[in-house]
């Protein structure tokens, strides 16, 4: 049974920064993630995405941010348990025991949950049944396959507009279709896409995909108008994801069904169990990577005291070492 001071569940940006900070506090650390690679959703879905709101980086690609976080976390010599899911959690005296889906059991002094939105699956495009892998995808991990193609993106959030902005210079054409005329994406990105060659069709939905082997064109129904047809060798359904907290919901941890409730110290209602990042909820919560980094430091510093009551919450600045 592996024994560590701190077990981190989730290897996205917040989890990786938590691993570094645990090492800074002198804690032995292990990290579990259900994905086979480090970096969480960024690695799985957005490695080429330009991230603009991380302090100190005017712009940084997702894959580069993850690479930096992994290198930083390596200073803590974490033990990684990838492609494995935390299934059970129990308290044994002053220890927390977590069982993984492969039978591994980890004994920890404290647990920090940084699992993002938990397990996630993309929302389906009703007209896309049978087209996945034949031109229909739900996210864009690489831009290269879209060079010279006609691309239709369905959605009105950050992902839809980010991909439209990035694909516009390399695709033959980009069309963005959204069911409403208001968008959830960042205003600056929306403005940039409006000023580009991207065709934006609102109050509309994709009603059919057509082609022999792969997608060749899509039918778009606009409210009160005749259907439109646009060429498309690639369709991206950026309709968001259905999050599932999975086995975590059986641990007795307080949630609002979608997120884990924490206090200002990042404590959950369970002893020695903390949470940080997008999975958390508290009054005034803002879901940004930058916020997750701060929550990670808060959680680790308070976990350090839970593990060793003689420790101090504030360890001093790293620049003082």
Question: Do 210 and 219 meet the contact criterion of CB atoms below 8 Å apart?
Answer: yes
- Residue 53 structure tokens: 């709101």
- For 258-274, the pLDDT digits (tens) are 899 999 999 999 999 99
- Pairing type for strands 273-275 and 105-113 reads parallel
Res. 208 pLDDT band, cuts 50 70 90: very high
- For 84-112, the pLDDT digits (tens) are 999 999 999 999 999 999 999 999 999 99
Tell me: pLDDT of 246 over 80.
yes
pLDDT of residue 187: 92
Q: Which residues define the annotated binding site?
A: 14, 33, 41, 46, 86, 120, 278, 319
Please give the average per-residue pLDDT across 168-178, as a whole number.
Answer: 97
Q: Which residues define the annotated binding site for FAD?
A: 14, 33, 41, 46, 86, 120, 278, 319
121 C-beta neighbours (distance < 10 Å), count: 10
227 C-beta neighbours (distance < 10 Å), count: 12
27 C-beta neighbours (distance < 10 Å), count: 22
Question: Do 76 and 29 meet the contact criterion of CB atoms below 8 Å apart?
Answer: yes
Tell me: pLDDT of 321 over 70.
no
pLDDT of residue 320: 67
Tell me: pLDDT of 119 over 80.
no
pLDDT of residue 229: 97
Q: What is the pTM for the complete model shown?
A: 0.78
- What domains does the chain contain, in order, with CATH numbers? 3-120+241-320 (3.50.50.60), 124-237 (3.50.50.60)
pLDDT of residue 36: 86
Res. 140 pLDDT band, cuts 50 70 90: confident
How far, in whole angstroms, is CA 321 from its chain's centroid? Answer: 33
CA distances from 14 to 82, 112, 177, 219, 287 (A): 16, 10, 33, 41, 11
Res. 308 pLDDT band, cuts 50 70 90: very high
- For 47-69, the pLDDT digits (tens) are 878 888 899 999 998 999 999 99
């Amino acid at each position: 049974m592996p024994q560590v001071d701190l077990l981190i569940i989730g290897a996205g940006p917040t989890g990786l920064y938590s691993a570094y900070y645990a090492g800074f506090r002198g804690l032995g650390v292990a990290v579990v993630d259900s994905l086979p690679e480090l970096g969480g959703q960024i690695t799985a879905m957005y490695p080429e995405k330009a991230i603009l709101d991380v302090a100190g980086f005017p712009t940084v690609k997702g894959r580069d941010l993850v690479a930096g976080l992994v290198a930083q976390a390596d200073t803590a010599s974490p033990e990684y348990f990838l492609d494995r899911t935390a299934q059970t959690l129990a308290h044994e005296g002053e220890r927390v025991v977590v069982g993984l889906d492969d039978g591994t059991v980890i004994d920890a002094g404290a647990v920090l949950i940084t699992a993002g939105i938990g397990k996630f699956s993309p929302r389906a495009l009703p007209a896309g049944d049978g087209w996945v892998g034949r031109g229909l995808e739900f996210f864009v991990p690489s831009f290269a396959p879209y060079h010279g193609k006609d691309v239709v993106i369905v959605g009105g959030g950050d992902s839809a507009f980010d991909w439209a902005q990035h694909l516009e210079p390399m695709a033959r054409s980009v069309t963005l279709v959204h069911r409403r005329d208001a968008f959830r994406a960042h205003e600056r990105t929306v403005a940039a896409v409006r000023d580009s060659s991207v065709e934006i069709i609102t109050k509309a939905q994709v009603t059919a995909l057509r082609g022999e082997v792969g997608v060749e064109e899509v039918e778009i129904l606009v409210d009160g108008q005749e259907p439109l047809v646009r060429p498309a060798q690639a369709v991206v359904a950026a309709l968001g994801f259905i999050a599932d907290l999975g086995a975590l919901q059986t641990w007795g941890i307080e949630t609002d069904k979608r997120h884990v409730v924490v206090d200002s110290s990042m404590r959950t209602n369970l002893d020695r169990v903390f949470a940080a990042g997008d999975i958390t909820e508290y009054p005034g919560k803002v879901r940004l990577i930058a916020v997750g980094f701060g929550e990670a430091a808060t959680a680790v510093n308070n976990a350090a005291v839970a593990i060793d009551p003689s420790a101090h919450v504030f360890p001093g600045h790293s620049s003082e070492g």
